Amino acid sequence: MGYWRQMFNTAGESTTLAAMNAGTTATTGAYTPELDGTLKKVVVQIGYEAATSLVEDIRIEMTCTKWSPNTLHFFASGNGIRTAPADAQSPYEFIVGQPVSTNKGIDANYIHDSGVPVTSRIRVFGYFE
């Protein structure tokens, strides 16, 4: 039986490639899986922090030396300026199937590829077996 974990998060607005926070912390760094196994899915959730949030294209790069290729790319798109009341943004789900182990951390970086981001929040979840 598998389990879901929040692997990364950020409340940043970077237009250059920047490190994401590990897990649910506010500290950048690698996420370390709890068990050896397989990362089956990755879900990217774009949230918003204020009624004035503006989020457009986002790219996330996750890297692990256990993977081949070592870097996986994920994307998500915002839906323009958020106004109150705002509808929830649907998550982006990706099938991965990469091996993981407790002694190999996974790093993640993100970039807002277009537009001028304002008060964005990104969460990355993984489904492990």
Assigned domain for 29 exists: no
Nearest Cα neighbor of 78 from 52, 49, 58 is 58
DSSP letter for 100, please. E
Question: Which amino acid, residue 89?
Answer: Q
CB-CB contact of 116 with 32 (8 Å): no
| Cα–Cα distance measured from residue 69 to residue 63, given in angstroms and rounded to the nearest whole number | 9
Assigned domain for 45 exists: yes
Assigned domain for 71 exists: yes
Assigned domain for 114 exists: yes
The label of the residue with tokens 């790093």 reads 107
Q: What is the pTM of this model?
A: 0.89
DSSP letter for 125, please. E
Tokens (6 digits) for 129: 């077996």
Assigned domain for 17 exists: no
Instruction: Give me the DSSP letters along 86-99.
Output: -PPPPPEEEEEEEE
| pLDDT tens, position by position, 79-106 | 666 666 566 678 999 999 999 999 999 9
Assigned domain for 89 exists: yes
Assigned domain for 53 exists: yes
Assigned domain for 108 exists: yes
Which burial class, exposed, middle or buried, applies to 68 when counting CB atoms under 10 A from its CB (0-12, 13-18, 19+)?
Answer: exposed
**pLDDT at position 85:** 59
Tokens (6 digits) for 5: 């974990």
Q: Say how many domains are in the chain.
A: 1
Low-confidence ranges of the chain (pLDDT < 70): 48-53, 79-88, 115-117, 119
Domain range spanning residue 120?
34-124
